[in-house]
Structure 1
Amino acid sequence: MSKPTILMIRPLQQAKDFIAAFCDQTGREPTVHYAPILDISPRICAPLPKNTQYLLFSSVNGVTYFADQSEDRTIPALCVGDATQAAAQTAGFKADSADGTAQDLLNLVKRRATPSDGPIVYVSGATVAHDIAETLVANGYQAERRVVYAQTTIPLSQAALDTLSAPTLIPIMSPNTARAFADQVAHCDLTQVTILCISENARRPLAHLNAKTIIANAPTRSAMITALSHLL
């Protein structure tokens, strides 16, 4: 029986970074087909409020596009996970990781931030599964959201669709990616496809598909790589 192909539908650079991390962590070189399903484009955001006490990043894209717009590295950053933290640190921010989900990031904010110490700014894409700024405001914090990129769906290529008729593994790292994928393959036969999700939130938009879905043991890139290696 042939080994499955890994179908990477994340934006290309993030997909390549993930596979590079997979190879480093496992010492294996899988068969990969790259088919980004989302196109990322920058958006100019409004200036930060005075006395911003923390920046919140829930994605590498948020870090990348914000860093391109602002030279200020004096505001500490709180990040959803290790990959986002690494991107923030590479960009010059003092950054800590919540090691998990948006809820974990919220919990980290509540441990670190004081409502009276100034605004908290959530840096994100135009579409988010969870508006962290809104939740913080509801909990008594000063919080604002800054949109620094937008996502546009890209149709899957015929070559990508063809992989679905053979054993295929698809890592899904976000609900937005899951929704974009589900919309395009709703009528496809996915009985040979296994979708590995980083969280239950990322799995939920896929529930109606006839593919096998698995959730990693933890919402981290390392856990996703470990789970993926066990499926190969």
Structure 2
Amino acid sequence: MTVLVVRPQADADRTIARLAARGITAIAAPASRIVPVAATVPESCAATAITSANAVPAIAAEPRLRTLPLYAVGDRTAAAARAAGFAGAVSAGGGVGDLAAMILARQRPSDGTILYASGRDTAGDLEGRLRRAGFDVRRVVVYEAAAADALPAAAVEAVGSGRVTAVLLYSARAARLFGELAARAGLRDRLAHVPGVCLSPGVADMAKAAGFGHVRAADSPDEDALIAALEACLAGR
């Protein structure tokens, strides 16, 4: 029983360790790699919002931001921000909708601009949600997930030999890229027999389009729920 984790390598390593603690063997199958993007942060803003720990290095390079409220989408992202010196970072404990709701509850449009430090590709439309509530939002792209050229040899061998019992998919883009890389490796037909366990219904829709014959979405868009969905899938529930 082997699970593929479709995340950039550093993130995949953390997930693999969590799965190992639960007795699940997993290997990394990154369909992309995180690349910093040079960016200019606004001179004046009232708070910062981040939807990924990958944004932390960029905002940590701006000491003046550490005195402002920082709103993070989830616990791990908030913990990464605190470790980088943002002592007051708070977690929405969920998805982008939860993050938007937290900002709306704690900030007023009159407080000033919300800096949204993000990746080049985003989901959930945090910027739009806040703008519709009257906020001035400055989205600054500080990293991107560059597509991988190929799947790792270990992942290709595991899928090709039929050892893979599930694939963890964290974003629609990752699902699409994984499908493309699998097809390039001659594994498209294999995906029809491997469950794709997905972070959200939107990811599940893309996984179907990418060739997965069976998909399952987590009950909520966080890794705890995703792992619970994986365990249910592996148990045949």
TM-score range, shorter chain: 0.7 to 0.9
Q: Which stretches in structure 1 are left out of the alignment for 5+ residues?
A: none
1:203 aligned residue: 204
Q: What amino acid sits opposite 1:183 in the alignment?
A: E
Pairwise CA RMSD: 2.0
Aligned-residue offset at 1:158: 4.2
Match of residue 180, structure 2, among 159, 167, 183:
183
Matched, 1:83 2:76: yes
2:158 aligned residue: 163
Q: Deviations over 1:169-190 (max 9, x none)?
A: 2111222212222333353321
Q: What amino acid sits opposite 2:121 in the alignment?
A: T
Distance 2:222 2:125 in 1: 20
Q: Which moved more, 1:94-103 or 1:177-186?
A: 177-186
2:193 aligned residue: 192
- Conserved? CA contact 2:168–2:196, under 8 Å: yes
Aligned-residue offset at 1:135: 3.4
Distance 2:171 2:212 in 1: 19
- Conserved? CA contact 2:166–2:197, under 8 Å: yes
- Conserved? CA contact 2:5–2:15, under 8 Å: no
For residue 180 of structure 2, give the secondary structure of its aligned residue in structure 1.
helix
Match of residue 213, structure 1, among 202, 215, 229:
215
Q: Deviations over 1:87-115 (max 9, x none)?
A: 12222211222222212211222111100
Aligned-residue offset at 1:40: 1.1
- Conserved? CA contact 2:115–2:138, under 8 Å: yes
1:113 aligned residue: 107
* TM alignment of 1:18-167, pairs within 5 A: 18-23=15-20, 27-50=21-44, 52-67=45-60, 69-72=61-64, 73-93=66-86, 94-154=88-148, 155-165=150-160, 166=162, 167=164
Q: Deviations over 1:146-205 (max 9, x none)?
A: 111122111213432332241332111222212222333353321331111111122221
- TM-score normalised by length of structure 2: 0.85
2:224 aligned residue: 222
- Conserved? CA contact 1:119–1:142, under 8 Å: yes
Distance 1:227 1:127 in 2: 25
Length, aligned pairs only:
224
Distance 1:159 1:188 in 2: 18
- Structure 1 consecutive aligned stretches of length 4 or more whose deviation exceeds 6 Å: none
Q: Which stretches in structure 2 are left out of the alignment for 5+ residues?
A: none
Distance 2:91 2:131 in 1: 21
Residue 172 to residue 65, structure 1, CA distance change in 2 (3 Å): farther
Q: Which moved more, 1:178-187 or 1:150-159?
A: 178-187
Distance 2:3 2:72 in 1: 27
- Conserved? CA contact 1:199–1:219, under 8 Å: yes
- Conserved? CA contact 2:9–2:33, under 8 Å: no
Q: What amino acid sits opposite 1:15 in the alignment?
A: A
Residue 188 to residue 75, structure 1, CA distance change in 2 (3 Å): farther
